[in-house]
Amino acid sequence: MNEPKPSEATARVIAVQDDIVSIESQGDASLTKNEVVFVLPSRSEAKHQERLKAEVLRIYGKRADAQVYESTLGVGVGDPVVQSGEQLSVELGPGLLCQVYDGLQNPLDLLATKFGYFLPRGVDLPALDRNTKWAFTPCVQTGTRLYAGATLGSVQERRFKHKIMVPFDIKGEVEVVWIQQGNVTVDEAVTKIRLPGGKEQIVTLKQRWPVRNPLSQTMLRNNVNQRQYPSAPLVTHLRLIDTFFPIALGGTGCIPGPFGAGKTVLQSLIARNSEVDIVIVVACGERAGEVVETISEFPLMTDPRTGGSLMDRTIIICNTSSMPVAAREASIYTGITLGEYYRQMGLNVLLLADSTSRWAQAMRETSGRLEEIPGEEAFPAYLDSSIKSLYERAGVIANADGHIGSLTMIGTVSPAGGNFEEPVTQSTLSTVKTFLGLSADRAYKRFYPAVDPLLSWSRYLEQLNPWYQRELAPDWTEQVQAVLRLLGHGNSVHEMIQVAGEEGVTLEDFIAYQQALFVDMVYLQQDAFDNVDVSVPLARQKETFMLIVKLIAADYRFADQNHARDYFTRLTGLFKNLNYAVWQSAEYKQLLDKIIHLNTAS
């Protein structure tokens, strides 16, 4: 995008309120909703002409309100405004992986290198490196007829074949006029196509797409994509999630919980160990310390699937709570658009948003400045529809080449005081199909992950039953539901014990309580600091869970409550050691024999 000049101004500022500026078009110029405009402050003390990026939110006649993505210090009435003619968009192409961007897709490492760690206003850098050469290999020939989203060729990006596709905004059939192989930058032409009207267009390795326009919906309307029904789980290697509260590959989930309950840690482990191709982490307003940990730790971590760096398959969108509200609100749209792009290639993408509460609060602040009618707790009246439209961009898609890709979205929610009845949590719960509710009480007891099994739920458990029957066991879902009922019964007995003491419950109920406690201690909890227990493959989960089901179903004949407690204490100790042992190792088999022997002896 060329540097805007005051002489190119087509509008002017007529009012300023925090990061909201009111502008008025001049002459025949017209304003468009969501169009990007640049405010050129005349009262700035900077040595160069600053250009502050803004987005048009509301139009009334020749006037409009726009949110500025940076501080409006020095902006005054009469300052020129230059229109870009395009909506807020991101660059799509090779070079996205291993990058850390802000909410407007500015590469933060490049910003820090050029300007230092105190970033100046009005800086807009290209998201993709303009000097890197990519080896383009075509997969079609001259004369081939294609539709939007069809693959023209590919370049190697990290360990992925990055597909170069026909631009997504083209309608109808196009013809390849010429195509070449070679090393090119993202700005150099690799092919020329003839559009339905006869006009010819150059295609490079990159293209732009407006972030607020769902890519999948556009492709569905053009009959290029086909939406598929999620039919397999997202394997996270976390026992509690994979077994009891699964999230479908291409599905949606949320992790609400109070501060200090372990949302960020849980999200980090899901990002590290999940069986997906691409991970996009969107820090849309989290505290700087948590974001710094993510940025500094991910490059040092090993990808369990490939042995390479975890960052090789990761993109981080970073907007801390100290960054401008408007950029914080845009960051989640930037992240999900990048996710849709890689899904269009037929890859499985996981997007983790931390936290959507900050994104909703940014919308609340902007809505208040626009003097819109507030909803509950001053959130905008359209909060519910905004959250739904965001999560609806997840899903499983069959692309133009017939390849199936998925975008799974998991958002963390930070309700004030852990109150799950607040608007953001309630709107999210009515949208997603997996709810992993974190408990402050479990976190205080050092139970990790601190997901409350009595509070959480997953609608995918029944939906994915055919997959479980085929891949794990015919009665897998029934066994999982039976153990969940045991956990509920055990909690009821525990509450009775707290009131009436152990002598106030029957031996049968006490055994059920000990069984529920045993399941909680050895299966629901997972040691994030142990190299073995931190990540459990699905095959090992199946073996462990079936053993637990067998132990629970055993016909115990305990003499009294002390006998039952002693047995389950010893069993829990053996099982914890089993979890720490390398699967199928000699130590693992020895512990397994001891568990079976203890059960037989009882």
Binding-site residue ranges for ATP = 257-264
Rg of the Cα trace of the chain?
Answer: 27
Facing residues of 36 across strands?
A: 55
CA distances from 231 to 227, 370, 456, 460 (A): 12, 43, 21, 9
Contacts 24+ apart (CB under 8 A), 496-504: 502/561
For residue 257, give both structure tokens.
């919980």
Provide the 3-class DSSP secondary structure of residue 351: strand
> Tokens 């993505």 correspond to what residue?
69
CA 249 – CA 232 distance, rounded (Å): 6
SS3 call for 231 = coil
Which residues are bridge partners to 193 per DSSP? 176, 201
Q: Cα separation of 72 and 91, whole Å?
A: 26
Q: What angle do CA 164, 165, 169 make, to 5 degrees?
A: 140
Enumerate the known binding-site residues. 257-264
Give the distance from CA 40 to its chain's centroid.
35
What is d(CA 515, CA 372) in angstroms, rounded to the nearest whole number?
54
**Residues linked to residue 23 through DSSP beta bridges, in sequence order:** 13, 64
Residue of 221, 42, 200, 93 lying closest to 148 (CA atoms): 221
* Neighbour-count burial for 68-82, b at 16+ CB within 10 Å, e otherwise: bbbebebbeeebbbb
Dist CA 194 CA 495 (whole Å):
72
Report the 3 state secondary structure along 469-509.
Answer: HHHCCCCHHHHHHHHHHHHHHHHHHHHHHHHHCHHHCCHHH
Burial of 137 (0-12, 13-18, 19+ CB in 10 A): middle
From 152, 150, 163, 159, select the one nearest 92 (Cα to Cα): 163
What residues contact 594, with CB distance under 8 A and at least 6 apart?
574
